[in-house]
Amino acid sequence: MSTTKYPYAFATLTLLFIVSVFINVNVGSINIPFSDIWHSFTNPTLVDKNYQYIITQYRFPKTITSILTGIGLGVSGLLMQTFFRNPLAGPFVLGISSGASLGVALMIMGGSLLGISSFLHYFSIPLAACLGAFLVLSVVMISAKKIKNILSILIIGLMFGSFTTAMISILSYFSTATELQQYIFWSFGSLSNLQWSEIALLTAIVSFSCFGLLFIIKPLDALLLGENYAKSLGISISKTQTFIFIITSLLTGSITAFVGPIAFIGLAIPHISKLIFTTSNHRILIPAVAIIGALVMLWCDTISHIPLSGKNLPINAITSLLGAPVVIWLLLFKSNRIHS
């Protein structure tokens, strides 16, 4: 796409985004008419009481969570791909989501194993998830300093995935039925269990991270030429790394904590965006990834809420159904451009 077409592309995406928000609020076990959705923005007194309740207490929170999740995971994926110079990098592949899961598992199920009464404070799960994400990301980044081969780094990420799975099975073995159930439900992923206060916290974290992103657009562009060229252009690699580090752990950690481990979005969204915009320029790519991420998550959520025998599909199943083919397609048709 040539530079002159970017404004049109963004306008189209914004339009699609608005339509998707309406459809997302509309679809569910009860279909809410579009006019009521519109009125709930403009004049809430016109809206049916029951609809109003569903919209404000259930549908809107879910819609906003979907948007935040799409933005956050997409952006983390983009940062990982640029930093590790690998199209297959992403929070899930590199084991960062697994780290967050381990943090949550320790929080929910670790109590009985360690003999401490678990105090499930309001912020303790997000905090544990962020710490878990932070821990794994630091190990992956330290390994990246030592090992220059990027494939090995991906393998280290995968190993972390298996390691955390093992740890979680041990934890589940020793935990009580209620704790286990709580963890399993968390791991399915759900965009619809958040309170408004939790959404406020998530919004704050995502906005803070996106603000931080502004400061690394320039170094990210330089990193497109590789670390040595970036350094020769006056970029401080360690400072940039710390920035990417904090932003990714915050985003992946908090999103994983609130909505569960969501697969493939972090990997697939940057690719879809790069395909549409055919650019590597982060000033274009970051907003593109944010809006496309939000769009895709909205649709994943909408699909998962299409009433089929009165049950919702787990969101993780939907994202994997979408994401896995994208990865296969990447390997099949773009493999000549994937360097190791």
Partner 1 sequence: MKTIILQTTQLAIGYKQGKKTLPICEHIDLKIHQGELLCLLGRNGSGKSTLLKTLANMIPALEGTLQINQNAYTDLSTKNFAKNIAVVLTESLPENSLTVYETIALGRQPYTNWLGTITTKDQEIVKNAMKLTSTHDLQSQYIHQLSDGQLQRVMIARALAQDTPIILLDEPTSHLDIHHKLNIFKILQKISKETQKTILISTHEINLALKTSDRLMLIHKNLITLGKVDEEIVQNKLKDIFNSQDIHYDAKTRQFIF
Where does this chain bind partner 1 (CB under 8 A)? 85, 87, 214-215, 217-218, 221-222, 224-226, 228-229, 231-236, 274, 278-281, 283, 337-339
Name the packing angle between helices 150-174 and 124-146 (round to 10°).
Answer: 150
CA distance 171 to 98: 14
Instruction: Tell me the one-letter amino acid at 319.
Output: T
CA distance 131 to 7: 39
CB of 175 to partner 1, least distance (A): 43
CB of 160 to partner 1, least distance (A): 23
Q: Which is nearer to partner 1, 8 or 229 (CB)?
A: 229
Q: Which is nearer to partner 1, 33 or 226 (CB)?
A: 226
Structure tokens at 275: 């395909």
CB of 251 to partner 1, least distance (A): 21
* DSSP annotation string for 211-266: HHHGGGHHHHHHHTT-HHHHHHTT--HHHHHHHHHHHHHHHHHHHHHHH----SHH
The total of other beta-carbon atoms located within 10 Å of residue 227's CB is: 17
Nearest CA to 253 out of 122, 143, 95 is that of 95
Q: Which is nearer to partner 1, 148 or 311 (CB)?
A: 148
Q: Which is nearer to partner 1, 1 or 30 (CB)?
A: 1
Could you give phi then psi for residue 278, rounded to 5 degrees? 35, 55
CB of 243 to partner 1, least distance (A): 13
Nearest CA to 82 out of 202, 204, 235, 234 is that of 235
Q: Which is nearer to partner 1, 259 or 330 (CB)?
A: 330
Q: Which is nearer to partner 1, 311 or 339 (CB)?
A: 339
For residue 310, the number of C-alpha atoms closer than 13 Å in the C-beta half-sphere is: 0
CA distance 9 to 28: 30
CB of 295 to partner 1, least distance (A): 21
The percent helix, strand, coil of the chain (3-state, each to 5) is 80, 0, 20
Q: Which is nearer to partner 1, 88 or 128 (CB)?
A: 88
CB of 228 to partner 1, least distance (A): 6
CB of 193 to partner 1, least distance (A): 38
